[in-house]
Amino acid sequence: MTVKVTPYLMMDGNAKEAIQFYEQALEAKVVTNITYAEVPDLPSEDLKNKVAHAKLKIGESVLLISDSPSVLPVEQGNQVTICISTKDAAQSKRFFEALKKEGKVKMPFQETSFSAAYGSLTDKFGVTFLIDTESENLMS
């Protein structure tokens, strides 16, 4: 069983600037940087040139960053999300179902263009989680 826990920064339209900053400040290496124009399910034309998914390698660690689509508004204090990734959709669903108890679902658990099974929620303690099932594509 492989499970990874990764910090995920949700930015309010300034992800490109944040990526450049972290490249300099933390000597981060950009592994992936995909715009919303490159994904098949573009949420809105306004996001076309914004970052849909970026993966930075900092030493032995990974930091994920994206510009938040309008359905997930960014507020001070909710920019850091925990991304839990597995390779097994059933395990991902178990995590999602357990964390959603007394919490609030932001995006229902489902197959997407970038994940075999994905969902987002805020748990009963106010912590936001992205549950992702890795698939063999650019978004992983």
Domain assignments of the chain as residue spans, ordered by start = 3-133
The CA distance from 34 to 37, in Å, is 8
Q: Which CATH number fits domain 3-133: 3.10.180.10, 3.80.30.20, 3.40.50.1820, 3.30.300.30?
A: 3.10.180.10
pLDDT of residue 138: 39
Model confidence, pTM:
0.75
Full pLDDT tens readout for the chain, 140 residues: 689 899 999 888 889 999 999 999 889 999 999 999 998 887 788 889 999 999 999 988 999 999 987 656 677 666 888 999 999 999 999 999 999 999 999 999 999 888 899 999 999 888 889 999 987 543 44
Helix spans in the chain (H):
15-25, 89-100
Beta strands in the chain (DSSP E): 3-11, 29-35, 51-58, 61-67, 80-86, 104-110, 118-122, 128-133
